[in-house]
């Protein structure tokens, strides 16, 4: 477990040694790095997880929170990687950060989980009361892989409860301007798009913005809500490994 500083910000990150490529996991809003634990435990690669600013153990200062600073943080985290072959894995807001980072880096592999290449407006009411919404979500869902992901689910829900409300508002503001910061033309890369078939957060049009943006892609559907890596972490890990090895 390590901290790194960028200007006035401090970021928490952790690494697990393994084979190349280096996989950098970018969590979504109101989460933290621990939501990836069950996924990375099943991957043979070198993995790097970190807490976005305003989340988890990283700096909580909302004044620096912007797509530009989030991308700067990601690029700093990538510099810690021992392998130059890079795979970015981003969920929701984390996927948007990965898309914005394409101005600076073309990764060897790119995995986007329930993310979007356009602006997010429709989920604003849902985001107004995140804790209440996810408490209901927890009650409504029959979690799969429970023998292996109890801790994952607990960490996920705890992350929601620990999130600074001002950061939640900042996240919503960023996602309303998401499309503006993405390169107009996609790089020469074939991403993996993982979609929760029962996603109650993003509309189909948000998902379809990714298939319209990339000229070629691999797509996988899981019978989950907005968090396949939490609801089906074992299957998610297998899909990612198959993509990297193909």
Q: pTM for this structure?
A: 0.86
Counting every residue written for the chain, the total comes to 246
Q: Is the dihedral of CA 75, 173, 12, 109 positive or negative?
A: negative
Bigger pLDDT: 57 vs 63? 57
Give pLDDT, residue 45.
96
Whether residue 123 has pLDDT greater than 50: no
* 220 contacts 214 by C-beta, under 8 angstroms: no
Percent of the chain with pLDDT over 90: 50
Bigger pLDDT: 3 vs 221? 221
Q: Of the candidates 9, 110, 102, which has an alpha carbon nearest to the alpha carbon of residue 52? A: 9
Helix axes 93-100, 67-78, angle to 10 degrees: 80
Average pLDDT, the chain: 83
Please, which pLDDT band fits residue 231 given cuts at 50, 70 and 90?
confident
Whether residue 147 has pLDDT greater than 90: no
* 87 contacts 244 by C-beta, under 8 angstroms: yes
Bigger pLDDT: 132 vs 230? 230
Q: What are the phi and psi torsion angles at 53 (to 5°)?
A: -55, 140
Strands 86-91 and 9-16: unpaired
């Amino acid at each position: 477990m390590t901290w790194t500083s960028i200007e006035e910000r401090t970021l928490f990150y952790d690494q697990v040694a393994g084979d190349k490529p280096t996989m950098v996991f970018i969590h979504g809003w109101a989460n933290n790095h621990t939501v990836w634990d069950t996924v990375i435990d099943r991957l043979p690669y070198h993995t790097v997880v970190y807490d976005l600013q305003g989340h988890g153990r990283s700096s909580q200062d909302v004044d620096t929170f912007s797509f530009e600073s989030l991308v700067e943080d990601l690029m700093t985290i990538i510099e810690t990687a021992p392998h130059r072959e890079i795979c970015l894995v981003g969920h929701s807001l984390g996927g948007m950060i990965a898309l914005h980072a394409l101005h600076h880096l073309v990764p060897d592999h790119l995995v986007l989980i329930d993310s979007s290449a356009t602006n997010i407006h429709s989920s604003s009411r849902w985001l107004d009361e995140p804790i209440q919404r996810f408490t209901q979500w927890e009650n409504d869902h029959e979690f799969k892989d429970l023998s292996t992901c109890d801790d994952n689910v607990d960490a996920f829900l705890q992350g929601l409860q620990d999130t600074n409300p001002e950061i939640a508002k900042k996240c919503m503001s960023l996602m309303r301007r998401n499309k503006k910061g993405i390169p107009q033309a996609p790089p020469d890369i074939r991403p993996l798009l993982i979609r929760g078939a029962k996603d109650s957060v993003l509309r189909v049009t948000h998902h379809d913005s990714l298939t319209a943006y990339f000229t070629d892609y691999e797509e996988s559907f899981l019978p989950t809500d907005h968090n396949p890596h939490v609801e089906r972490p074992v299957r998610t890990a297998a899909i990612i490994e198959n993509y990297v090895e193909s």
